[in-house]
Amino acid sequence: MRKNYPGLISVLNAAELEDFVDDWLEQRYKDYHSHERWSGTGDRGRDVTGYVTDRRMDGPWDNYQCKQLSTKLSEKALFVELGKIFMHSAAGTYSLPRAYTFVAPLGVVRKVREFVAHPDTLKQAFLDLWNTYIADDLVENATVTLSPEIEGKIRAFNFAQVHWLDASRLAKDPACMPALVKWFDADPGQSPRGIVPDAIQDNESAYLSQLVCIYEERGPGTYADPEAALACPTHGEHLRIQRTRFFDATAFDRFYRDSTPVDFVKTFRHEVHSGVVDVHQDEHSSKFTRLNKVMQQAALLQTSGILGRHAGPHVKQGTCHMLANEGVMPWDR
């Protein structure tokens, strides 16, 4: 039965929520060069930051403000938390973020929704309400009035880049799946089967060249390239099976790299390698026999965890070809 992931996110404590969001950003490698969690006091209005370039906060960056509250995010919290960014930026602590996202598992009140939906209204409200509604709540026992520097930062900021996420929206983000796996033992499901292209691809050339050498040792004849071996009635069908295994494993690898923490795929590949390496290194009557013995052993392996649950024999066999492709466990030895 599918778990209630929004409900589970909603009962994390404040520190856990920040860690969860940090794990979420870990998977958003297409959006960010790196990310950072600012824990404890002195975060200067930042909980988790995503950096677009290696310039980090000296370049474009996004701020994720985590608000694990007993109620929905209030209008007051919207102004005060976002106001801290303008205050610190005006003081020269950092440049304005490219975007600011409130992560509030229980959601936001209607007034906040209205402000976020109307960026120009939100900007004007900051200018109009700063001294009467915001200034006394930014720093303990102090009043931070609307200085020309702060006003300049407010006018410069693109309020269309203020967003909010509740637990439901967060859990539905495809990039959140690895965090759900790590925190709540979510199951991303079965990977798709691989698609075997007719033409030989660059990413399979190494292990295919090794297989060609094995076929030549077995005989009869030699092959100018893998395409020639595919056309051979003696070895063509065998080679087609190996390519199917390789592309199934490649699809498996790609799917779980995107849907589980990075160490899951590494662990799976380590278990496959550990399970077949002794057979691979053993003495055999021929290289072709070694190949078949390793394939037989790989099909019988029991691997652990979520990936082990979904890895069929063809995936484990294809993973051996991936290891051969990388030179970890070459066939032509």
Residue with tokens 């290891």: 323
User: Does a structural domain hold residue 330?
Assistant: no
Are 214 and 313 in the same domain?
A: yes
The sheet with strand 162-165 has its strands ordered as 34-37, 48-51, 61-66, 99-103, 162-165
Q: Give the other-Cβ count within 10 Å of 76's Cβ.
A: 14
Distance CA 245, CA 247 (A): 6
Query: pLDDT (tens digit, 9 = 90+) per residue, 164-197?
Result: 999 999 999 999 999 999 999 999 999 999 999 9
**pLDDT bracket for residue 36 (50, 70, 90):** very high
Number of domains in the chain: 2
Note the pLDDT of residue 119: 98
pTM over 0.85: yes
Q: Give the other-Cβ count within 10 Å of 251's Cβ.
A: 17
Are 174 and 245 in the same domain?
A: no
User: Does a structural domain hold residue 193?
Assistant: no
Note the pLDDT of residue 201: 94
Query: pLDDT (tens digit, 9 = 90+) per residue, 215-238?
Result: 999 988 899 999 999 999 999 999
User: Does a structural domain hold residue 332?
Assistant: no
Q: Find the mean pLDDT for residues 19-30.
A: 91
Query: pLDDT (tens digit, 9 = 90+) per residue, 269-304?
Result: 999 999 999 999 999 999 999 999 999 999 999 999
Q: Find the mean pLDDT for residues 79-83.
A: 97
Please give the structure tokens belonging to residue 179.
């965090």
Are 233 and 178 in the same domain?
A: no
Residue with tokens 């002195």: 42
Q: Give the other-Cβ count within 10 Å of 39's Cβ.
A: 13
Torsion over CA: 270, 274, 275, 281 (sign): positive
Q: Find the mean pLDDT for residues 72-93.
A: 97
Note the pLDDT of residue 40: 72
Q: Could you tell me the residue range of the domain that residue 306 belongs to?
A: 202-325
Note the pLDDT of residue 149: 97
Which H/E stretch holds residue 198?
none
Are 106 and 231 in the same domain?
A: no
Q: Cβ contacts of residue 328 below 8 Å, gap of 6+? A: 273
Note the pLDDT of residue 1: 61
Whether 246 contacts 321, CB under 8 Å: yes
Are 57 and 119 in the same domain?
A: yes
**pLDDT bracket for residue 319 (50, 70, 90):** very high
**pLDDT bracket for residue 30 (50, 70, 90):** confident
State the chain's mean pLDDT as an integer: 95
